[in-house]
Amino acid sequence: MSQILGIGVDVVEVQRITKSVGRYGDRFLRKVFTRAEKEYCFRKARPFEHLAARFAAKEAVMKALGTGWIARTSFREVEVVRAEGAAPTIVLSRRMRELLPSGPIRFWLSISHTEHYAVAQAMITREDDGDHALL
């Protein structure tokens, strides 16, 4: 049995990310995305949709944590990873993991995007059965 610890959702206009990259270039990309996230997105035919989806996922995770973007945190401390053929999931920095209660924790993540919008929903659960925990 799982206990829900937090849920977050976020919607991002793809054009917002496109404009930010156009205006700030690599400085924006380095501030928000990890190297692996950038490599993944720029291998795609429509990289800005994928960047927007990851941005929305990071925001959704922070909402699920119940903290918002607290002082001294970085967007890069929440990384969206996706193994080939697997659903996307979250990897947190050590500092961000300290915001979680102790015990087996699992992140659930759903992201989707179109030409104009990206949406993400994140849920954090405490797992009674440690075999299913990811953190």
Residues marked active site are found at: 63, 113
- Given a contact cutoff of 8 angstroms between Cβ atoms, the answer to whether 62 and 78 are in contact is yes
- Distance CA(86)–CA(71), nearest Å, equals 33
Distance CA 87, CA 99 (A): 24
- Which regions of 14-104 does DSSP assign to beta strands (E)? 78-81, 89-92
Q: What's the gap between Cα 32 and its chain centre?
A: 11
Q: Return the closest-CA partner of residue 49 out of 41, 58, 57.
A: 41
